[in-house]
Structures are given as C-alpha cells and as structure tokens.
Amino acid sequence: MRTDSTKSSSTHLGDDPDASLDHGTGGRVLRRRLKLRHIVFLGLAYMAPLAVFDTFGIVAEATEGRVPLAYLLILVAVAITAFSYARMSRYYPRAGSAYTYAKETINPHVGFMVGWAATLDYLLLPMLNALLAAIYMGAVLPAVPAWVWVLSTIVICTVLNVVGVKLAAQVNVILVVVQIVVAAAFLFFAIRSISAGADGASVSLLPFDPSGVPTGALLGGASLLALSFLGFDAVTTMSEEAIRPKTDIPLAIMIIVIAAGGFFIAITYTMQVLFPDVAEVGDIVAASPEIAQHIGGALFQALFVGGYMFAVLGCGLTQQMSAARLLYAMGRDGTLPKRMFGRVSARTGVPIVNVVFIAVLACSALFLDLASAASLINFGAYIAFGAVNLSLIFATVKHLRPAGRIGVFSGIVLPMLGLGINVALWVSLDANAKIVGIVWALVGLVFLLVRTRLFREPAPAMAEPELD
C-alpha cells in the first residue's frame, strides 16, 4: 500500500487531528487546505484508472464471462476494508497504513510481518508494469518479440531514474487526465457499439448471473482484481493537510472506492456484453487492445495503446523510484545491509544500486504470465487488507468498547466479514504465487526472530514508501 514514510507512526487513540502538526517536517506545520473534492481527486490519482483493462481477458476466461460480477465481489471486499480504513483513520489520524494499524492495535511484531508482506507489492510493481507494456505493444506490433518491450520499458525507466529525472506534479496530473480520457473514450465507443447492436450485442444481466459458474472460479477471477484498487488508501496520509480530517478523510475513502468500483463495473460490463465469450478474441491476455480495435477501429486502438504506454512509462518511473527509496530506507535503518542498500549517489542523490536492483527484479517479467504476476502483487495486498479489518476488530474490543448493536456490527461483525472475504480471495490466488509469497514471509519471519532475539526485544521499525 502506498504510504508516506515521513508520517509518524507513534500516534494513539484520541489524538486530535486538528492540532498543529510537525511530524516529518522539521518543525514546519503543514497548511490545512485540502477540501473533500481535492482529497477525492488525489485519491483517484493514486489509483490507475486504466488498470481495469489489464486483466479483463484472463478474468473473463476464469469466470466464464462474469467479469462485472467478479468486480462486484471484489468491490464488496474492498468497500468493507475501506470502511475499516475510514474508521481507523479517525482513531489514528496521523498515520495511514496497514503496518501502522496492525502495529498499534494488534502487536508490533505482527505489524512488522504485515509491512514485510506488503513490501513485496512495491518491489514487484515495476515487473508487472513491464509485462503489461509487452502485452499491449504486442497487440499492435506482434512481429516484435515480447522481451524487446519488457527490456525496453525497464531500461528507459532505469536510465531516467539513475540520472535523477523526476516527474513534476503537473506531469502526474496529466497522466491521470490521459487515463481518464482514454477510458471515457473506450466507454463511449463501447456503448455506441452496443446501441448499434454490433455482433448481436444487447443489454443483458448475464455478466452478473452466477448460475452455472463454480464458486471457486469466481473467487479465482476476483482474486486477480485487487490490482485495480491498489492505492485507494493513500488519502489516509493526507490528514495533516485536510481542512476537516475527521469527516473528510473517511468520507473520501468510501467515495473513492465506490466511484472507482462503479467505473470498473461499467467498463467491464460493456466489454463483456460485446464479447460474452472471450474466446472470440484472438489473444485473451491482450483482449483489451483487440476490443479497442473492434469498437473504434485501428486509429482508436493506436490511441488507446499510446495512452496506455504513456501511463505505463510515467507510472513505471515513479514505481521504480518508490521501491528504490523503500530499499534505501530499510538499508539506512539496518533492516537490509546498509553498505548495499543504504547509500545514495553524491551527485544525483539517487540510490543507484537500489534502482538497478529493482530493474533486475523487474526482468522476472520475462518468465511470468499475467495471472501469476498479478497474483504475486495481490499476495501482499490481501494480507494488508485483512490486517486492517483485523486491526479494527482489535481496536474496537481493546479500546473503544462498542455501545449497542450498531457499534458491535460496525466494529466487529463488518470487519470480520471483510477479513473472511479477503482470506477467501487470498486462498484463491495462483498456487505458485502463494509459494513465492510465503517464502518471502518466512524470510521476514526469520529476520524478525533473529533481530528481536525470539521476540524478546522490540520489533524493528518498518520503512514505508513515500507518496510522490
């Protein structure tokens, strides 16, 4: 999960978010200037609107043409988790991560393991980015080998990061706008095709009908879709700049998740209506670019892929640097070897070794398929989601003493339901991805056991990625 490493994690229940704050600012108090609409836009910006197209083909195949239903299922899981984030953001207004919540409410050692598992997401996102670049470009230029696009994407992002290129805030806004425009254009052409009855397409509830589809298939497909929602929790780090943090941050979280979920369902519904059987598409993995050509012609397909690649390079640049900074923070704090990971270039201020290390990890895109890569990313995501729901239960029982049925339902029953759904989705992930994730978790556990002398000493602080 994307969090700001400059935020203090030593907050307690009852802290007043409206007080003057100077955490991580060297005494400089952050100005409260963000209204609800600003927070919502920034939250949507941290999510990638075009992510809805990434896994459509493989999820449509897995769910037998029920991608909108799979999105509805994952939306329920994320919405409950978002509610838990919203509640926790009121109790811990100056911190906003699954790691911090688990550390403060459950146990510092549990918090470390949650943070360690979530770290896998950040280390592997550049790999997924390179893989998606190859898939989309391969749909337009199939004669070019996939490895060319994978390595080209990695090399471009690595070189730009090594020389210290940083995207301006305005460029990040442009990235978001481009994605929204491309997605809106896709939706327009898709609705136009449905209205014209292209290929016999008609409005139907079939994409939401679970009849005849095994529950395991639906869960397996839905388990890949958490990618689309990664980043919704970023707004929990904006409390210090929000005008009304106690009300606007929780409300913004829910608005972001519901709006994004509705958008994802609308997009995939039109795609599913046009192609009830995804086997009709030539390349299931690259289904979205092919559907773009089907509804808008070759020119729109080129614009669609071009807009996507613009977003890929922009996001890839920031993802790689964010992961490199995370490794640097862990090296600086002694969690990782300081000589290797805790140094930056004297000339550019860039942790060059870390940038190159992330590039090497990204090369695993040469050997992974999309389903396995997505499952690897979602391994840490579901652990983080589950931890937030569990943290709310602990906070409710230990500190809040819920009054009446509403308190019990919102503080215990609802997050318990969210925890159960997230566990079911985690279990449904690709088996190989779970093996890799569990090995990663075991490495973290061994490190924790050694570092704490079998839990006799405090858990080390877990570095968290910065928001750019």
pLDDT bucket at 93, cuts 50 / 70 / 90: low
Show the tokens assigned to 114: 């949650």
Contact between residue 388 and residue 132 where contact means Cβ atoms under 8 Å apart:
no
Reduced to 3 states (helix: H, G, I; strand: E, B; else coil), residue 20 is coil
Domain ranges (residues) in the chain: 36-452
Q: Which of residues 296 and 314 earns the better pLDDT score?
A: 296
pLDDT tens column, 253-288? 899 999 999 999 999 999 999 988 888 887 888 889
Predicted confidence (pLDDT) at residue 187 exceeds the cutoff of 90: yes
Residue 14: the pLDDT is: 36
What is the CATH code for 36-452?
A: 1.20.1740.10
Name the nearest CA neighbour of 270 among 183, 343, 374, 211: 183
Phi, psi (deg, nearest 5) at residue 273: -65, -40
Residue 107 has pLDDT above 60, yes or no: yes
Residue-level pLDDT at 15: 39
Among 8-12, 311-315, 457-461, name the one with the lowest average pLDDT: 8-12
Give the pLDDT mean for 89-100: 73
Which comes out higher in pLDDT, residue 203 or 95?
203
**Between these two residues, 388 and 455, which has the higher pLDDT value?**
388
Task: Please give the pLDDT value at position 168.
Answer: 54
- In the chain, count of helices (H) and strands (E)? 16, 0
pLDDT (tens digit per residue) in 47-84: 777 888 988 999 999 999 999 999 999 999 999 999 99
On the question of pLDDT at 172 being above 70, the answer is no
Burial of residue 244 (CB within 10 Å: 0-12, 13-18, 19+) is middle
Q: Residue 273 has what pLDDT?
A: 92
The least confident of 7-11, 118-122, 213-217 is: 7-11
170 compared with 13, residue with greater pLDDT: 170
Query: Average pLDDT, whole number, for the chain?
Result: 83
Q: Which of 102, 106, 127, 126 has the alpha carbon at shortest distance from 115? A: 102
How buried is residue 373: exposed, middle or buried, by Cβ count under 10 Å (0-12/13-18/19+)? buried
Express each pLDDT in 380-408 by its tens digit: 989 999 999 999 999 888 766 656 666 77
Burial of 356 (0-12, 13-18, 19+ CB in 10 A): middle
Structure confidence by residue, pLDDT tens digits, 95-106: 567 888 898 889
**Per-residue confidence (pLDDT) for residue 25, from 0 to 100:** 42
Predicted confidence (pLDDT) at residue 10 exceeds the cutoff of 70: no
- pLDDT at residue 4 in the model: 38
For residues 110-130, give the mean pLDDT: 90
**List of residues 6+ apart from 211 with CB closer than 8 A:** none
- Tell me, letter by letter, the H, E, C secondary structure of 386-440: HHHHHHHHHHHHHHHCCCHHHHHHHHHHHHHHHHHHHHHHHHCCCHHHHHHHHHH
Residue 179 has pLDDT above 80, yes or no: yes
Handedness of CA 16, 17, 18, 22 (dihedral sign): positive
